[in-house]
Structure 1
Amino acid sequence: MKLIVNNISIIAHVDHGKTTLLNYLINFCKNYKNYKKNFFFINNNLYTIKFNVFTAILNKKIINFIDCPGHFDFINEIYKSILISDYCLIIIDSLKGVEAQTIFCYNLSKKFNKKIVFVINKIDIYIKLKKIKQKIIFFKKKYKTFFFSSKYKIGVLKIFFLYKKIKYINKKLIFIFENLNNIKYGNIIFFKILTGTLVYGNCLKNKYNNNILLSKIGILSVKNIFLKKTFNNCIHFCFSNKLDYKRIHFYSCYNNNLSFNKFVVNVYYSLYIQDNFFLFKLLYNDSSIYFETINSVFFGESYFLGFIGVLHSEIFFKKLKILSHFWVTNPIIFFLFNKNNKWIIDKIFYENCYEYEQIMIVKLYVLKKNFFFIIQNVFLFNYYKINIINYSNLIIIIFYINLFKIINNFFIDLNKRIKGFLFYEFNFHNFHKSNLFFLQISINNNLLNDFFLVFENDVKNNCNLFFNKLKKNLNKNIFDIKIQFIYKKKIIFTKIIHCYKKNVLEKCYGGDITRKIKLLKKQKIGKKNMKTKINLGNKIIINIIKNEFSNI
């Protein structure tokens, strides 16, 4: 029996109703097939963080619906969902209208030559019809438009009547776009059949010479269906043998046209974890995370992780926090140093060096109606250079900013000022002479080579905060502890943790005075030795370095 197969990706700006629409489609198919289980995709901290595939089988048709995230931190998922689709369903909120990311998704769909369908969602809210039509006139060409209310299930069934003819070719050609690791089933590979058919038990080989044995082939319907052979142009999953998760993603077996370069990670962390079982499970299921095992002087084996953005890292650590105990550092910034005419890129501080910090190029996608309001807020922050590109329906503001500001919630503050979601992308551009303050710490005139602080402004306030953190973790001693903050070999800030007095003569009720003098001399010698031998233990170092997501 020949079935018509179509792949429809659901893309939109953040909070325009993508996942709500997909949940309704799933529950409609559940009722159509008399399948009684309720189904809803899990809400990951109010964001969709992974693309979701659902297959509907209705009237000799197989339709694969692909829901994808809306935030830049998960842009790899947006690319994948558009790449494997035939139709791109671009959802527009009837109240909010066309946003910057709507146009970004539209241009990306055009770039990959996909058929575009516009959906005006949330029509249950009272708005004049003329205003809704004006939102579509924004795009010059005429496209199919549907009017939906995902919440109240109005007009949604029109999606099932979209149709595209696909030619059948005998040559076997597949595109593997995802690999997940499941505790019960092991490695699960998701792939699209471009041409030809695959049969249960076939063995595939990719360009890295990895053998993939198709032990089971299925489609992702309301109740997973296992097949003996695949359908042309359809998205399938299969259980396979063990693979290298770093190399399995984003490749085609024979065709180089269906591939793209992953976005480079920008934000790095060091992580120490007691049991790495759940860490590896999460890493296997997210190909955009950079991962490396390192050996720490203090803590032994630890892990170096890289993320596309700050939100991506926050959601990852929140999930890991539920599953295991770990501690993680604050985001790490790399600097360029010139030491003895040798250029070194490192995250540590070198004495007598000229340091250069990482500068990121930011592309901020803005609608013309919001341009002046947003540009005023961008000017409030320090920047290096601004370039504005004006298109017919979109303005791109390109500016350069240091990574330190991005890590310290630059985009979150900008979103709060605008009271909405901005769509942006940022990548490493170059190194620039740093205006940051590199501070070293001295305890009782002993420099700590393991610590250095980096601040942009409010140096005294930040030093006070760090001092209070150090004071909480240091035990009380019988001598004063002097903490000094040094910038370019000059002491700029000094604080003292005062001692508590120990009376060694308390138990001496009588006797010769020479005995009391001996006890006082011993106390003096002991104090001198303790002052020179101040060692911060691992627990103190962890409490000082660790991020708010740590739970050790």
Structure 2
Amino acid sequence: MNPLNSIRNFSIIAHIDHGKTTLTDRFLERTGTVAKRLMHERFLDSHPIAQKRGVTIKLAPVRMNYKNYIFNLIDTPGHIDFSYEVSRSLACCEGAILLVDASQGIQAQTLVNYQLAKKLGLKIIPVVNKIDLYNAQVEKTAAELCQNFNFKKDEVIFVSAKDDENVNQVLEEVIKKIPPPQGQKEKPLKALVFDSFYDSHKGVIVYLRIFDGFLDLNQKTPPILQFLASKLKFEPLEIGFLTPKMTPVDKIGPGEVGYLATGLKEISHSHVGDTLTSLKTKNEKIGVKPLLGYQEPKPVVFFDFYPVENKDYIILDDSLKQLKLNDFSLGFNPVSSPALGKGFRLGFLGIFHALITQEKLEEDFNLSIVITSPSVEYWIVKKDSSLLKIHSASEIDDLSQIKEVREPWITASIFTPIKYLGPVFELCQNKRGRFVNQEYFGDYINLKYELPLIELVGGFYDQLKSVSSGFASFNYQLADFRPFKAVKLDVLIQRVKVEVLSMIVNKEKGEKVAKKLAKKLKEVIPKQLFEVPIQISLNGKIIARETVKAYRKDVTAKLYGGDQTRKDKLLKKQKKGKKRMKQIGRINLPQEAFMAVLEIEK
């Protein structure tokens, strides 16, 4: 075990694409944590999707040795959908590096992450990155940090993580400015679980930060551990540090960050945010109070996932359970559709979170998935005053029994250059937004708006980037549920209702959305050998219609040499296909059809 004054626990917090992962790579190189021959870009982003997209999607702790100090860095995602991972990381730290891109300046996540770190009482080191860029505004960015966050000018460090310029200065500041952890090894074990995953050999493995006491697996009698929330008791298989690979050790003491292999086979036994303690006997009373964890994330947008092949339903079920082991924010329940068969309704933290999950299912588990258009949670107040919570318009059967529909609202923080204020105001008004207040940050302004959550699902982020030439950014949190004038749009393909395409929309936008949706579906549904009528009904009345014209494909055109047997076989196959399309063609839609709602607002 290491003395407390030699340990520094910290995170790097930043807006997305401000260079956080690149700076982490330089730390790994400078401290010799990873050998040069093994080093590659985005080293801690171990998942291929994170590497491909260039976006951190999962927190990653790493232990580094620098001079006579132990650095525990917890790398965090920058995308808004994964902001909950930042709070989990900061709960284990005494300090944070606030990283700002010199060409972008302060942005929405910069502000949110700073406020979170201050609320937790962390020591913050301001760092201006990308000073090598031709359009870097180094002094201006530093002035913004000083003016808005009360830093002193000589506290700001200027670096180029890409060129490895002044990186050592940041490491030295970590030693000087970030306080060592507090804790006493003589006290009972008290550790915070901040992440977990499943290993087929070692069972559930948790990442933890020890606040008091210690873990020692070298004792004659193995320790008995217990999660306070689940009250589950177990004997650990292995403990160790992340260097970044899992490196087993015999002891872990107060202030340290490491991993613990529980041997448990059910991920539900381990809760992120739970407190871990030890017992001398299984009947011993617990004398430890739970640590203050953090609020678990709540899903804000819902999609239905269906396997293209019905036989893959069981595989999809198993795959989702495996993903749940490493993504505790993911929630899912079985659903069924007359059109698409059996599938699952999944809750996500945002659209990006959903798309990442779809990619994981397709690439990691070799599944072909159809996902339906996104929805949010609605509260339905019936005429008998009972309350029903739904996540899809298809769950509404009898409109005559509904007294009121309530939709979720959010409080949004929109950070934009002042010169784009007009277009941003107009966008928010078009999205039924309600202005709250504004705060100036130099050439930028931070707008507080209340908005219906469903408006964010309908392409708000892309439109915000468009009206601000890419400079505006935003963050949001759920506020409450409010009544609104709701109507239900149903989609009929070949005069048969496709329930998974049903939508709940604001009454004022109903007819406009219906016409856009019909046109979009016409664009994405491929031509068949027969006409495909598309109808949109509002509360049962047809208000929009489009038709996909028929065409005849000569399937024998590619054949040469007069092979009549082969021609007959293909014609039989075409006839069977035509019959199949008539029978299930109205539900055999391309993925683009189910995501049309995301496109019609762009």
| 1:327-376 Cα shifts (integer Å, max 9, x gaps) | 22111344444555455443324344356352422321436856735643
Contact 2:101 2:128 in 1 (8 A): yes
- In the alignment, which residue of structure 2 is the partner of 1:268? 302
Contact 2:302 2:375 in 1 (8 A): yes
Rate the CA distance shift 1:450–1:257 in 2: closer, same or farther, 3 A. closer
Report whether the alignment pairs 1:406 with 2:456: yes
| 1:154 maps to 2:203 | no
Supply the distance in 2 between the matched residues of 1:421 and 1:48 (Cα, whole angstroms). Answer: 21
Aligned ranges 1:300-449 → 2 under 5 Å: 301-323=342-364, 324-337=367-380, 340-343=383-386, 344-346=388-390, 347=392, 348=394, 349-353=396-400, 356=405, 358-366=407-415, 369=418, 372=421, 375-379=424-428, 381-390=430-439, 397-418=447-468, 419-420=470-471, 422-427=473-478, 429-434=480-485, 436=487, 438-439=489-490, 441=492
8 A Cα contact 1:440 1:487, kept in partner = no
TM-score, length basis structure 2: 0.74
Distance 2:333 2:269 in 1: 11
Q: Assess if the C-alpha contact under 8 Å between 1:90 and 1:119 holds in 2.
A: yes
Cross-structure match for 2:38: 37
CA displacement 1:296-324 (0-9 Å, x = unmatched): 55666522210111111112212222132
Map 1:14-53; keep pairs closer than 5 Å. Answer: 14-30=16-32, 36-39=37-40, 40-42=43-45, 43=51, 45-53=53-61
Equivalent in the alignment of 1:137: 146
Q: Name the amino acid aligned to 2:325.
A: Y
Decide whether aligned partners of structure 1 residues 128 and 180 sit closer, same or farther in structure 2, where only a CA change above 3 A counts: closer
Q: 1:101 aligns with which of 109, 112, 118?
A: 109
SS in 2 for 1:248: coil
Partner of 2:212: 195
Cα distance, 1:469 vs structure 2: 6.2
Counterpart residue number, 2:48 = none
Q: Which residue of 503, 518, 539 corresponds with 1:463?
A: 518
Instruction: Please name the residue that 1:227 is paired with.
Output: 249
User: SS in structure 1 opposite 2:216?
Assistant: coil
Residue aligned with 2:329, SS: coil
- SS at structure 2 position matched to 1:383: coil
Q: Which amino acid aligns with 2:162?
A: K
C-alpha displacement at 1:10, in angstroms?
Answer: 0.6
Partner of 2:600: none
270-279 or 393-402: which moved more?
A: 393-402
CA contact (8 A) 2:489 2:536 kept: no
Q: Distance between the aligned counterparts of 1:332 and 1:179, measured in 2?
A: 29
Match of 2:226 among 189, 196, 205: 205
Tell me whether 1:259 sits opposite 2:259 in the alignment.
no
- Give the direction of change, closer, same or farther, for the CA distance of 1:437–1:390 in structure 2 (3 Å limit): same
Contact 2:522–2:547 at 8 Å: present in 1 too? no
Shift of 1:7: 0.7
| Unaligned residue ranges in structure 2 (runs of 5+) | 46-50, 277-287, 553-579, 597-602
- Indicate how the Cα distance of structure 1 residues 488 and 52 shifts in structure 2: closer, same or farther if over 3 A, else same: closer
Give the conservation status (yes or no) of the 8 Å contact 1:177–1:191. yes
CA distance in 1, matches of 2:34, 2:352: 38
Q: Distance in 1 between matches of 2:525 and 2:363?
A: 28
Query: In 1, distance between residues paired with 2:551 and 2:250?
Result: 78
Contact kept? 1:5, 1:232, Cα under 8 Å: no
Aligned length: 512
Instruction: Kindly provide the amino acid, as one letter, of the partner of residue 226 in structure 2.
Output: K
Given the superposition, is the C-alpha separation of residues 12 and 188 from structure 1 closer, same or farther in structure 2, using an over 3 Å criterion?
Answer: same
Q: Is the 8 A contact 1:272 1:327 kept in 2?
A: yes
> Residue deviations 1:185-218, cap 9 Å, x none?
5422100011111012433111212234321111
Kindly provide the amino acid, as one letter, of the partner of residue 105 in structure 1.
Answer: N
Secondary structure of the 2:251 match is: coil
The counterpart of 2:331, out of the listed 285, 290, 293, is 290
**Residue type of the partner of 1:263?**
P
| Corresponding position: 1:244 with 2:267 | yes
Do 2:236 and 2:262's aligned partners in 1 also have CA atoms closer than 8 Å?
Answer: yes
Residue 208 of structure 2 aligns to a residue in which SS?
strand
Unaligned runs of 5+ in 1: 502-533
Matched residues in 1 for 2:161 and 2:498: separation?
Answer: 59
Sort the Cα spacing of 1:488 and 1:129 in 2 relative to 1 into closer, same or farther, 3 A.
closer
Contact 1:337 1:350 (C-alpha < 8 Å) held by counterparts: no
Structure (1 or 2) with the larger CA radius of gyration: 1
Letter in 1 for 2:437: I
* Shift of residue 495, structure 1, vs aligned partner: 6.4
Specify whether residues 225 and 58 from structure 1 end up closer, same or farther in structure 2 by C-alpha distance, changes over 3 A only: farther
Which of 73, 82, 87 is 1:65 aligned to?
Answer: 73
Report Cα offsets for 1:249-296 as digits up to 9, x if no partner: 112244444312123211011112411343322221111122223455
Distance in structure 1 (CA, Å) of the matches to 2:534 and 2:416: 51
Q: Does the aligned pair in 2 maintain the 1:174–1:192 contact within 8 Å?
A: yes
Cα gap change, 1:61 to 1:538, in 2 (>3 Å): farther
Closer, same or farther: CA 284–420 of 1 in aligned 2, 3 Å? farther
The structure whose residues are more often helix, as a share, is 2
Aligned pair in 2 of structure 1 residues 104, 466: CA closer, same or farther (>3 Å)?
A: closer
| Letter of the 1:41 counterpart | L
% same residue: 21
Partner of 2:321: 280
Asked if the contact 1:90–1:116 (Cα under 8 Å) also holds between the matched residues in 2, the reply is: yes
Structure 1 CA distance for aligned equivalents of residues 421 and 533 of structure 2: 51
